[in-house]
Amino acid sequence: MRAAKTFLVVVLVVGLAAGLWALFSLYSEVKELRSIRQMPAAPAPAQQGQEYATIYLVKAEPTEFHLVPVQRKLGGPATPQAALQALINGPLAHEELFASVPASVQLRSLTIQDGLATADFSSEIVKDFNGGALLESYLVTAIVNTLTEFPQIQQVQILVEGEAVESIGGHILVSKPLSRGR
């Protein structure tokens, strides 16, 4: 009987230690991810005429997703249009990230006037979006944050085939201009 009680105490102590270790590990990961999300992306140095832009891609964790800033080397000058195209192109093969915008989407036009960027996308942005509210939020935030990295842009209006739409996937309103941090 005494051996059974000792065994039970040992199992409880080991279980408690394992639980505390798991909780500490999770806390460390959450703290690190929060710092990544809150940390502005540091500009990468330009190399031999190449310029960089910050785009936003999705990072998958075992239990959740996060939108993370990524420095992307462009083939020429860092313009809002080039940055948006890099966002549509998605992650590079070696990156363990996921696209925030469906790859089939085409940027039809991008105009900037008085701090407002109007980005007109092909209908695939709606047709090929197959996520829920969180991924739709990341799609919209990725577009807005990528464009507002440029100082001349404070707001973004998303259009689909030249028309304002209520939402991309039914969860996030995009019918009016959006600002960073909505």
Tell whether 44 is covered by a domain.
no
Which amino acid, residue 125? I
Tell whether 30 is covered by a domain.
yes
The residues near 142 (Cβ < 8 Å, ≥ 6 apart) are 55, 56, 57, 58, 67, 87, 100, 101
Q: DSSP readout, 26-56? A: HHHHHHHHHHHHHSPPPPPPPBTTB-EEEEE
| Segments of the chain scoring below 70 in pLDDT | 1-50, 182
Rounded to whole angstroms, the maximal C-alpha distance in the chain is: 81
Tell whether 120 is covered by a domain.
yes
Question: What pLDDT does residue 17 have?
Answer: 46
Question: What pLDDT does residue 8 have?
Answer: 53
Q: Are 160 and 143 in contact (CB under 8 A)?
A: no
Number of domains in the chain: 2
Question: What pLDDT does residue 7 have?
Answer: 54
Question: What pLDDT does residue 9 have?
Answer: 54
Q: Which of 137, 165, 163, 139 is nearest to 84 (CA)?
A: 139
Question: What pLDDT does residue 131 have?
Answer: 87
Sign of the dihedral through C-alpha 131, 137, 143, 146: negative
Question: What pLDDT does residue 157 have?
Answer: 98
Question: What pLDDT does residue 128 have?
Answer: 95
d(CA 54, CA 14): 45
Determine the Cα angle at 42 with ends 41 and 48, to 5°: 125
Same domain flag for 21 and 72: no
For residue range 2-54, list pLDDT tens digits in order: 666 665 555 455 554 444 444 444 444 434 334 334 344 444 444 445 599 99
Same domain flag for 162 and 100: yes
Tell whether 111 is covered by a domain.
yes
Question: What pLDDT does residue 146 have?
Answer: 97
| Residue numbers of the domain that contains 33 | 1-39
Same domain flag for 34 and 62: no
Tell whether 119 is covered by a domain.
yes
Question: What pLDDT does residue 23 have?
Answer: 43
Same domain flag for 71 and 158: yes
Same domain flag for 11 and 98: no
Same domain flag for 82 and 160: yes
Tell whether 124 is covered by a domain.
yes
Same domain flag for 24 and 68: no
d(CA 30, CA 44): 25
Same domain flag for 34 and 55: no
Question: What pLDDT does residue 19 have?
Answer: 47
Residue 4, φ and ψ in degrees, nearest 5: -65, -40
Same domain flag for 17 and 62: no
Question: What pLDDT does residue 5 have?
Answer: 63
Tell whether 141 is covered by a domain.
yes
